[in-house]
A = this chain, B = another copy of it.
């Protein structure tokens, strides 16, 4: 394939994605996820071509421990949004999927209603190894979904390691799902999560659980009240809902819209996106630079032994940095 032909192909491919052709969107994401150098070059050209059509969706990150009901919540929220006339894309960042071979979104039957909807697009997490790699590919997939006309993108994560930070760094609103409980049963909020969450939502507020859910909400609210909010324009609320009955789903979406309305006039909403883009660029640069150190087995071994010497305190970190810097040249 010569260069001119490839450029023509990319333009055609881009127009298919733009027209909202789901199979083309799926193929475009597969191209992004490919490790082949020629595919990666094409993927870059494709994303750059589609860039003017991106950025129009509301991007929502959703986290929660296993068992909290993430899939049923996304199914219920997605169906509500489609009823409201939205087109909904669901993506995931699951760095463990490379190890387990599975993915939190691998089983579409977990979102039974949404997966049957023509206005929904569900894609499991890429499984490319490192969190950085997984997050970068999900971020580009998000841009493609926007170019394909999806105006709400939901990005799910299980919250392993730094994956919550990665998802928060690519979304406009970060939603943490919790389960009800009372007293000693009360689920702890992971400390890192408090810094990231724009809202805490307590699922399974139905039937006998309603009272417990309200009690838990009160306790979480009291805890959050003592923390200084990240934004001067937004105090993260605590809501209860039921993914099973649908109660409170509309209110979750309303809070996401309220957040956008509250942070837009001051420019905070746009600033968050601009900062995310620049941070992403630097993360990519650091990843490449570290990949250099991993690519050669001899260099990798020397880095490991230098790290060990620094860890045990036989050389200073400064001397260790000198030695590693010499390896890169």
Among B194, B223, B289, point to the contact of A289 (Cβ < 8 A): B289
CA distance A139 to B225 in the complex (A): 35
**A20-28, A71-79, A260-268, A317-325: which lies at the interface:** A317-325
From residue A53, how far is it (CB to closest CB) to chain B in Å?
11
A55 interface residue, CB < 8 Å from B?
A: yes
Say yes or no: A189 contacts B51, CB within 8 Å.
no
| Of A89-97, A204-212, A277-285, the one touching chain B | A277-285
Could you tell me how many residues of chain A have their Cβ less than 8 Å away from some Cβ of chain B? 57
Instruction: Name the contact of A191 in the complex, choosing from B48, B194, B316 (C-beta under 8 A).
Output: B194
Query: Among B48, B191, B225, B226, which residue has its beta carbon within 8 angstroms of that of A315?
Result: B48
Q: Contact mask A25-58 → B, CB, 8 Å, 1/0? A: 0000000000000000000100110010011000
Given contacts A195-B195, A223-B223, contact A281 B320 (CB under 8 A): yes
Chain B residues with Cβ under 8 A from A250's Cβ?
none
Residue positions of A touching B, CB distance < 8 A: 44, 47-48, 51, 54-55, 136, 139-140, 143, 186, 188-192, 194-195, 219-220, 222-223, 225-230, 274-275, 277-278, 280-282, 284-286, 288-289, 306-307, 310-322, 324-325
Q: Can you offer 30 A-B residue contacts whose CB atoms are under 8 A?
A: A44-B322, A48-B315, A51-B314, A51-B315, A54-B313, A55-B313, A140-B318, A186-B226, A188-B226, A189-B226, A189-B227, A191-B229, A191-B230, A194-B195, A219-B222, A220-B226, A222-B222, A222-B223, A223-B223, A223-B225, A223-B226, A274-B312, A275-B311, A278-B310, A278-B311, A281-B306, A284-B318, A286-B286, A288-B321, A289-B289
Closest CB pairs A-B (n = 7): A188-B228, A284-B321, A281-B317, A280-B317, A274-B311, A223-B226, A281-B320
